[in-house]
């Protein structure tokens, strides 16, 4: 049974991932930590707290870093809505996070239980990088870290070559990818290929009729509008849920490549690009397990089970 800490910048797809984790019978979520990304930190925290309450779970939510390590915060509110949850009028305020800082919780939990905790990162890697800077041995005590970030095919969603989570804080991403921590990268390319929900499929999922099914589809309203207008996708994709699903069930990763991944921290066109060193030209860099394709049917079955 995987024991998870989920680090999230809780936008609309993050919330679906949280529902899948909290509802899965074979997963335990020890903590949820929040970071600024899709939305500012206070909204990310409120959105996570709302989702936990909707699931009837008691998982603690801890607030973390409010901005990238070195750069100004750039949010994804133009994609996920001003509130990050589709702007559908949810009561996303008034809840209180657990006492303590996300970085402390990550360090303390993982070092106290070496080899047991899987980190699942659904936003910028700022909290994980800060934890590594404070406690480099964290890289050796984490069971694994599944990162929703990057793209193995060179296609970006915030620039021609970069995915948002890595682009938002590339310095943090470089620290994490260079740490030697056992990493699995599930990038935007996996979501774009194997986790797009078209309008008919969305209607079928919503027709499950549970409050969670209606919630998980309705909060994609702003995302659906943005993707239809700007990317040409026939529906909305679910990058965070597919990464979460791989963390729980590794067999969902149907095609993988073990290869060093370098993070571009420049200020130019390639900021935040995940560069795969397929030829192993730079042998000193740690190897990352890069997911290239996912088992869509297995993923959809996990999603449907959570919504029921």
Domain around 259: 3-307
Model confidence pLDDT, tens digit, residues 156-168: 999 999 999 999 9
Q: Which one, of 242, 216, 224, lies nearest residue 79 by Cα?
A: 224
Q: What is the pLDDT of residue 282?
A: 80
Please give the backbone phi and psi of residue 261, each rounded to the nearest 5 degrees, phi first. Answer: -125, 125
pLDDT attached to residue 50: 98
The predicted structure's pLDDT at residue 114: 97
According to the model, what pLDDT value does residue 284 have? Answer: 79
The total of structural domains in the chain comes to 1
pTM, to two decimals? 0.97
| Tokens encoding 185 | 């990268």
pLDDT value, residue 280 = 85
Q: What is the pLDDT of residue 230?
A: 80
Residue-level pLDDT at 290: 98
For residue 189, the domain's CATH number is 3.90.245.10
31: helix, strand or coil: strand
The answer to whether 9 is a known catalytic residue is yes
Q: What is the DSSP string of 233-265?
A: -SSEE-HHHHHHHHHH-GGGEEEEEEEEEEE--
118 neighbors 27 (Cβ within 8 angstroms)? no
Find the catalytic residue in 7, 9, 13, 295: 9
Instruction: For residues 247 and 234, give the distance between their C-alpha atoms in angstroms, rounded to a whole number.
Output: 26
CA 125 vs CA 172, 249, 282: distances in Å: 5, 22, 23
Q: What is the pLDDT of residue 2?
A: 84
For the chain, residues with pLDDT lower than 70 are none
């Amino acid at each position: 049974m995987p024991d998870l800490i989920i680090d999230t910048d809780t936008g609309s797809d993050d919330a679906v991932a949280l529902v899948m984790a909290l509802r899965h019978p074979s997963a335990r979520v020890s903590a949820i930590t929040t970071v600024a990304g899709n939305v500012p930190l206070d909204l990310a925290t409120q959105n996570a707290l709302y989702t936990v309450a909707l699931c009837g779970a008691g998982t603690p939510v801890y607030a973390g870093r409010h901005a990238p390590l070195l750069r100004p915060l750039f949010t994804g509110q133009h994609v996920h809505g001003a509130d990050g949850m589709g702007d559908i009028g949810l009561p996303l305020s008034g809840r209180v996070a657990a006492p303590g800082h996300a970085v402390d919780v990550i360090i303390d939990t993982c070092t106290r239980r070496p080899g047991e905790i899987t980190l699942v990162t659904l936003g910028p890697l700022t909290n994980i990088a800060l934890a590594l800077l404070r406690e480099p041995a964290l890289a050796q005590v984490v069971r694994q870290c599944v990162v929703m970030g990057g793209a193995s095919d060179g296609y970006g969603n915030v620039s021609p070559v970069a995915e948002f989570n890595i682009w938002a804080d590339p310095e943090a991403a470089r620290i994490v990818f260079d740490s030697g921590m056992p990493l699995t990268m599930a990038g935007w390319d996996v979501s774009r290929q194997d986790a797009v929900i078209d309008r008919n499929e969305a209607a079928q999922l919503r027709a499950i009729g549970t409050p969670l099914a209606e919630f998980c589809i309705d909060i994609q309203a702003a995302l659906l509008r943005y993707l239809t207008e700007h990317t040409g996708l026939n529906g909305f994709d679910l990058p965070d849920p597919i990464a979460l699903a791989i963390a729980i069930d590794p067999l969902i990763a149907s095609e993988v490549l073990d290869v060093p991944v370098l993070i571009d921290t420049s200020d130019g066109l390639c900021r935040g690009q995940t560069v795969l060193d397929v030829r192993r030209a730079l042998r000193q860099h740690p190897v990352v397990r890069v997911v290239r394709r996912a088992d869509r049917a297995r993923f959809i079955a996990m999603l449907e089970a959570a919504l029921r």
